Amino acid sequence: MKEVALIGMAQSLFFLVIVVLKKEKQLKDYLLMSFFLFIGAELLYRFLLKIDIQFYNSPLVLFDIIYWALFGPVLLLYCKSVIDKNFKLKKKHLIHLILLVISVLSVLKYLLNRSNYNTFIEYYNLQTGVTKFGLLIWEFTSAIYIFFVLIILFNHKKKIKNYFSNLEKKELNWLLFLTLGFAIYIYSSYVYWILKDIFNIHLGFRFIDILGLLLTVYVFGLGIFGYKQEGIFFDSELLTFHNGIIKPSNPKYQKTGLTLEEKESLNIKLVEVMKKEKPFLESEITIKDLALQVGTSVHKLSQVINEKHKRNFFDFINFYRINEVKKLLVDSTIEDSKIELIAYDCGFSSKSAFYSIFKKHTLQTPTEFRQKQKVAV
């Protein structure tokens, strides 16, 4: 299976070159380059193991220690740099290197006294106390970071529904794919390591080969996904969430200062604007745009929508869009109009999003709804 590791390594280098050749690179591009570089290093490590190089019996073990400890921090910083285009590396981010320093210090005794141990695995298993703690930090640091990256991405998917009516290219599904794919590899590696080195359970098949194949397939899938979906190798216009639309969030609106009467008055004005001006027909409308039309702040409007209508902004706007679509679907003067054209006229920007939202609100497809209304008439 060493050929598989070579193929995966070649793919990693190929995608690395693609990012390197990209014009006007940003911080996120350099972080992505680092991520591909580390994946290539992991595949190189697996290749060296397959050709019987005593990797863990040489100073090369430091190579493994370094890139493995940096996987998690690089992925976390990449995630933050994609979500916020104004993100910059600061001195406080040096804290992520602490785990690397701890990891390197934990193997110094092995590097300086390799003749006392048959293998690095033997050294690893014999350690206790602070050194053992440092080795465990090195082993599990990537898993911990990936867990927090997933939390950030899932929170992002929830948060944007409070500010945007159209989620196309805003949910960062490709970044979730990047993280989940690598998480599967990382956690599978841990399962293998725990079974083999802690419980001394040897699987009846070459699980280590499966891990190499898994990482190679992941790199290939990541490359294909990156070409098809804007975001990994090609920039899509990602919104900056610190530009006056989304500030560091306070979910309970502690500073809006709205009284019950003010909430009611603002809600009346909101409903009036929605009925008369129909701002929901604009496919890219944001809560900032609607707040300007209503004459209030983003936070106050968000509070009224959440508390008075029991919806986030995304569902609130699409509720009105769906009602507008339903009116037009039963309008006899345009009964020959294509459903998709009606959807676009009502503010939806994609067919798939429209059908999904329509079924969520009505529990039936637009075609079924139209046919049932005809029968009722």
The pLDDT tens digits for 125-134 are 888 899 999 9
Bridge partner residues of 96 (DSSP) = none
Q: What is the pLDDT of residue 347?
A: 96
Calculate helix-pair angle for 287-294, 298-309, nearest 10 degrees: 90
Instruction: At 311, list the tokens.
Output: 């919806």
pLDDT attached to residue 172: 83
CA distance 89 to 30: 12
pLDDT of residue 204: 58
Neighbours of 45 (CB within 10 A): 22
pLDDT at 377: 56
What is the spatial distance between Cα 210 and Cα 207, in angstroms, rounded to a whole number?
A: 5
Q: Report helix angle 207-228 to 27-50, nearest 10.
A: 150
Q: Of 254, 257, 135, which is closest to residue 197 (Cα–Cα)? A: 135
What's residue 307's pLDDT?
95
Asked whether 222 and 35 are in contact (CB, 8 A), the reply is: no
Helices marked H in 92-172 — which ranges? Answer: 97-112, 120-126, 129-159
Low-confidence ranges of the chain (pLDDT < 50): 237-238, 240-244, 247-250, 254
pLDDT tens, position by position, 331-372: 877 766 789 999 999 999 999 999 999 999 999 999 999 888
The structural domains of the chain, ordered by start, are: 1-234 (1.20.1070), 315-376 (1.10.10.60)
